[in-house]
């Protein structure tokens, strides 16, 4: 978010809160992927160490990347390939910058496809993991085409926010459920755990209610809630979602 120098007061505060929300959405979206890869860690690994290294990695990566973004925001006039090359002066340096972006996209795409395929399997769809990965990849490609059809930066921000708004409520449900399951037990095998129908329905209802409660606080080009509008664009939907 690039805020003109003339912006001040409540408008500036609202823009700052929105930027915090966008940054939080990036971190919290990758945190769920960390949970997918943590399944390969030995059961003896300390949960505190897992959380600490995950949090440190997220913080270090995003502080660096978003710091670069803040520093370059005033000189990047257009969020396109040509805009990036122009900022880097073109030539070899511009090509190297584009190569870094491409390699980073491949790395993040692989993790997206992996977690997406696992999510598809948890829905009960009986399909092999490679096939589910292909399905998720095709859906992601269609989404990319939609993003490219208009202002990519605005649409990407909207998608990033809208698909992440549900995560706090989801995490809250999972954490509470897990705490109840492990209470008084020395170990828990997730593969052998079952969820009775009424508990699943209750979790789904809470999840939907929490998402609905956050709508008035959302601030995107697709949905702009009355509270966010009254607060000069400040978006606190994540925090409302998790609290509910």
Q: Compute CA distances 151 → 156, 158, 166, 221, whole Å.
A: 8, 11, 24, 11
Q: Note the pTM of the prediction, 2 decimals.
A: 0.62
Rounded CA separation 88/74 (Å)? 14
Supply the range of the domain harboring residue 1: 1-74+151-243
Q: Residue 4: CA atoms inside 13 Å, Cβ hemisphere, count?
A: 3
Say yes or no: 8 and 51 in one domain: yes
Tens of pLDDT along 65-95? Answer: 777 777 766 666 555 666 677 777 777 887 8
Say yes or no: 167 and 230 in one domain: yes
Tens of pLDDT along 121-166? Answer: 666 667 676 777 787 778 878 877 777 777 766 777 777 777 778 8
Q: Count CB-CB contacts under 10 A for residue 240.
A: 22
Say yes or no: 155 and 199 in one domain: yes
Q: Please, are residues 18 and 96 in contact by the beta-carbon 8 Å criterion?
A: no
Residues with Cβ < 8 Å from 228, sequence gap 6 or more? 216, 217, 218, 219, 234, 235, 236, 237
Any idea which residue has 């370059």 for tokens? 72
Q: How many domains does the chain have?
A: 2
- Where is the domain boundary, 149, 170, 202? 149
- Where is the domain boundary, 128, 149, 170? 149
């Amino acid at each position: 978010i690039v805020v003109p120098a003339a912006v001040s007061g409540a408008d500036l505060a609202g823009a700052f809160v929105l930027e915090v929300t966008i940054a939080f959405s990036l971190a919290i979206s990758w945190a769920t992927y960390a949970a997918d890869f943590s399944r390969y860690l030995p059961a003896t690994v300390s949960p505190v160490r897992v959380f600490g290294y995950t949090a440190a990695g997220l913080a270090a990566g995003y502080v660096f990347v978003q710091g670069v973004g803040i520093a370059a925001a005033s000189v990047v006039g257009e969020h396109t390939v040509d805009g990036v090359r122009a900022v880097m002066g073109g030539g070899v340096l511009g090509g190297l910058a584009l190569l870094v972006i491409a390699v980073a996209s491949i790395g993040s795409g692989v993790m997206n496809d992996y977690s997406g395929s696992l999510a598809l399997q948890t829905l009960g769809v009986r399909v092999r993991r490679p096939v589910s990965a292909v399905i998720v990849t095709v859906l992601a490609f269609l989404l990319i085409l939609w993003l490219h059809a208009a202002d990519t930066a605005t649409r990407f921000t909207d998608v990033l926010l809208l698909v992440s708004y549900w995560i706090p409520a989801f995490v809250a449900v999972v954490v509470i459920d897990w705490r109840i399951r492990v209470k008084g037990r020395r170990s828990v095998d997730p593969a052998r755990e079952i969820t009775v129908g009424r508990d699943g329905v209750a979790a789904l209802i809470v999840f939907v209610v929490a998402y609905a409660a956050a709508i008035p606080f959302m601030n995107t080009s697709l949905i702009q809630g009355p509270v966010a509008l009254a607060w000069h664009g400040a978006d606190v939907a994540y925090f409302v979602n998790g609290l509910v």
